[in-house]
Structure 1
Amino acid sequence: MRRGWSLRGRLVRRLVLGVSLGWLCGMALTMLFLSREMTEFMDDILRDSARVVLATGGDFTAADRTVFPAYRIVTPAGEQGDAPWPRQQADGPRSSGGWRIYRLSRPADGIAVELGQSNEWRRDELLESIGGLVLLMLPVLGLVLWIVRMTVTGALTPALRFARSLGGRRADDLSPVAAADLPEELIPIPDALNGYLGRIGQYVEAERQFATHAAHELRTPLAAASAQAQLMVAGRADAEAPRQIDRAIGRLGRIVERLLELSRAEAGIANEAGCDLVVVLRMMIAEQRPAPAFDDGDLEVAQVAMHPDAAALMIGNVIRNAADHGTGPVRARLRPGPVLEIRNPVAASAGFRQGTFRKSPDSEGVGLGMTIIRKIAERSGVALSFSIQEGEARVRMDFTAIARPA
């Protein structure tokens, strides 16, 4: 089985990438801030040292030569120092020839002090400070990445536990799954799964009931035919035995036919072919004896996106049920939409029984007609409605949703 991508791996990678980028951006801003602060700090050192040297009357021994590798001191007696930059004329900080210079003078005594630091030295000091900061922050970054990985792993542990619990379930276990420790974002998964298992359970139970009812319906005519056949073999059968066997076999054939029709209805019949309802209706009415009265509403063509076999199966069952369970002639009326309505008189106690194998006590049918009609209508997009008014049963089939232009 092909393995999919790892949620934990993807989360860890993205979080690590995000944390790393954030760390780099933070370090870049820190370096910019540190560079500015170091520049101001070194300028302050130049200024303060120049004040000390000036206060001692030009004695450079008061300054640190490692911090100020070059200087110039101008006194009335002359100039001393090895400054490589041109002599400055104004007090304050200056940059000249790769040096950062600070000049401070005392005009009353004729003394001027110039202290300088090379830009290269200042850059080396700055890089050394930044390198130390990076070395200190690398363990912090590693710790943060480890915490991210462990946090993601811990957050996904309930989901992995849930997956293992599903993998250990029996194939016939359709009970709801428990997901008490799942995070809120994953709760829809067990909810949807429980709904799915519930529907499967309903289908399995429906299949069991169907098998039970089908076996019962098949067993009854088989038992009747077998009993009559045994009597005939023993020579104790009466004159009605052959007819009873024929009726039993006929009922058995009808049951098998209905079961096959139900199987086709549940499997679904493709709708790509399309059909003309007027043609299908005329064919189904011609097969029924006595033939129902048909009012086509002056419609010559009524094209719908429904396979002709599906339409014939559904309409044929409606007409057959009306003829079998009604007390008078069946009438079919087709109107624009197209909408088909089939009606016939019924007894006062009559009613539509929608369940599979549900039928009235005195019915000789199988109890599958309404189930076949409903399933085909649901799969084909036909709107069904059933009603009994003033002793007349009506079945309305609205094909408007699947109508095609003529």
Structure 2
Amino acid sequence: MTTRRWSLARLLRWRLLGAVALLWTVAAIVATVAVRYELTMVLDSALVSLAEQIPLETDAWNQRPLVASLPTVPQEEVMHVLVRNQQGAVLRQSGPTRSVPWPIDAPPGVQTINGWRVATRRTIDDRVIVQVGEPLNMRRQALAESTAALVLPLLALLPLATWLIDLLLRRSFRGVQQASEQLRARPEADISPLQVNDLPTEFEPMVASIGALVERLQGVVRAERAFAASSAHELRTPLAAARAQAQRLVAELPEGDAHERALALVRSLDRLSNTATKLLQLSRVESGIGLEREPVDLRQLATLVLDEFRHHADASHRLTVQLPAQPVVVQGDMDALGIAIRNLIENALKHAPQAQVQVRVEAPGRVIVSDNGPGVARATLATLSTPYSRGSARTDGTGLGLSIVARIAQQQHASLQLESPPPGMDHGFRATLSIGDAPT
């Protein structure tokens, strides 16, 4: 079953935006209702005020011009003023000249009549009825314009609200981002507890639990490394003593089956001693020996490592060395790089017994160890840097040498390239350890 991945920041962003949009919608509805109510009150008051400006004279309506008594209504205005008698005859009117469907028996006050908003005023004896009206569609237009003037600025604030929410979320998750960056920047061997400032309180229990788990893991790893290192170290002395006794037995036994078994015992003890040495090296590498940084001269370091092999008769006549005239200085750990170079040379000598082995140091920071032996199959080449992998089952190697080199290269931010056969050759093997450019 695949677990669906989700983002807390994205979830909060959309929920906050949804809440803001909902509040905006409610605010827009409330604003529209309020504007409609206020606009209706204001316009109705205007109709009533205009109707009250017209005098209700009950005598001599036909003897004097009423037009002089009517308020002036411009032609472009939409208000219609209508004065009628109780029989419905139009005494005077202003505004649009078209007929209006206003009933003569409309009660006093303001009503909605046939698409008009009409204010009606009557004399006591109903001899004169004054009506002032305004089309409702004009009110709707005014309401739409007023609502737009109020709501559109709120709508324009939505992008600003989105930007502010993103900004606040980024600042709120800054501590989580710092924790993630710290974890990515850590060396692989660093399993110390995580220290993060400016972390939201909701994440503190989780970080504390992770820290406690890391501390327990750190204790287990330390115990495992200490056991491997102490075991390998403690084995070296009894193995050396056992090998000395086996060699003495070989010297004392006459030629025969017993002598051959004694020789086989010496070879087995050599392999066991070599395995203990590799395990000790691996323990040192896993403990973080390759995390240190200091100027290291690869030319001088290669010379020191090669001096160890000059005491072996088989290695001394098979090794050829090419060193530059000038120092090749890189940033790294001398012990870790020395272990890596030694393992590359041992690997070439062991897995190509009859071949010539060349060690070459090049600027800006490469150590190349190659041989003209049979090489390895391409399918095997990709697995040689994994622990306990050997190119040939017939060799006496432990399968740890190249994996130790690969681990050191990883800690030193270097690269290990294995080629078989090398370019331009039909057979052979070449390992290139590229440490980096010379420091400025």
TM-score normalised according to structure 1 size = 0.50
Which of residues 158, 162, 165 in structure 2 aligns to 1:141?
158
Answering whether residue 129 of structure 2 is matched by residue 112 of structure 1, we say yes
Distance 1:193 1:78 in 2: 92
What displacement does 1:179 show?
Answer: 0.8
Name the CA shift for 1:226/1:114 in 2 (closer, same or farther; >3 Å). Answer: same
Query: In structure 2, the residue corresponding to 1:61 is in which secondary structure?
Result: coil
Post-superposition CA distance 1:61-90 (Å, at most 9, x none): 256776653232135996223433222342
Post-superposition CA distance 1:351-375 (Å, at most 9, x none): xxxxxxxxxxxxxxxxxxxxxxxxx
Letter in 1 for 2:186: R
Query: In structure 2, the residue corresponding to 1:101 is in which secondary structure?
Result: strand
Post-superposition CA distance 1:79-136 (Å, at most 9, x none): 2234332223421222221112111122269432111111211111111111211233
Contact 1:158 1:182 in 2 (8 A): yes
Note the aligned Cα RMSD (angstroms). 3.6
What displacement does 1:141 show?
Answer: 3.1
What displacement does 1:185 show?
Answer: 1.7
Answering whether residue 79 of structure 2 is matched by residue 69 of structure 1, we say yes
Distance 2:174 2:79 in 1: 62
Distance 1:75 1:45 in 2: 23
Name the CA shift for 1:35/1:56 in 2 (closer, same or farther; >3 Å). Answer: farther
Show the counterpart of 1:84: 101
Name the CA shift for 1:27/1:56 in 2 (closer, same or farther; >3 Å). Answer: farther
Show the counterpart of 1:31: 32
Answering whether residue 119 of structure 2 is matched by residue 102 of structure 1, we say yes
Distance 2:57 2:191 in 1: 96
Distance 1:89 1:17 in 2: 49
Name the CA shift for 1:219/1:149 in 2 (closer, same or farther; >3 Å). Answer: closer
Contact 2:175 2:197 in 1 (8 A): no
Listed as ranges, the gaps of 5+ residues in structure 1 are: 237-244, 246-251, 253-406
What displacement does 1:197 show?
Answer: 2.1
Query: In structure 2, the residue corresponding to 1:17 is in which secondary structure?
Result: helix
Distance 1:29 1:37 in 2: 12
Letter in 1 for 2:129: A
Aligned residues: 238
Post-superposition CA distance 1:173-202 (Å, at most 9, x none): 122221121111222343233223212211
Contact 1:54 1:112 in 2 (8 A): no
After alignment, is 48-57 or 124-133 more displaced?
48-57
Show the counterpart of 2:329: none
Q: Which runs of 4 or more aligned residues in structure 1 lie more than 6 Å from their structure 2 counterparts after TM superposition?
A: 55-58
What displacement does 1:163 show?
Answer: 1.4
What displacement does 1:23 show?
Answer: 0.7
Contact 1:54 1:105 in 2 (8 A): no
Distance 1:17 1:217 in 2: 68
Name the CA shift for 1:218/1:20 in 2 (closer, same or farther; >3 Å). Answer: same
Distance 1:54 1:165 in 2: 87
What displacement does 1:31 show?
Answer: 0.8
Distance 2:145 2:14 in 1: 32
Percent identity over the alignment is 31
Distance 2:48 2:72 in 1: 13
Show the counterpart of 2:274: none
Distance 2:55 2:10 in 1: 65
Name the CA shift for 1:123/1:56 in 2 (closer, same or farther; >3 Å). Answer: farther
Show the counterpart of 1:209: 226
Query: In structure 2, the residue corresponding to 1:140 is in which secondary structure?
Result: helix
TM-score normalised according to structure 2 size = 0.47
Listed as ranges, the gaps of 5+ residues in structure 2 are: 59-65, 94-98, 254-261, 263-268, 270-440
Name the CA shift for 1:35/1:145 in 2 (closer, same or farther; >3 Å). Answer: same
Letter in 2 for 1:83: V
After alignment, is 153-162 or 3-12 more displaced?
3-12
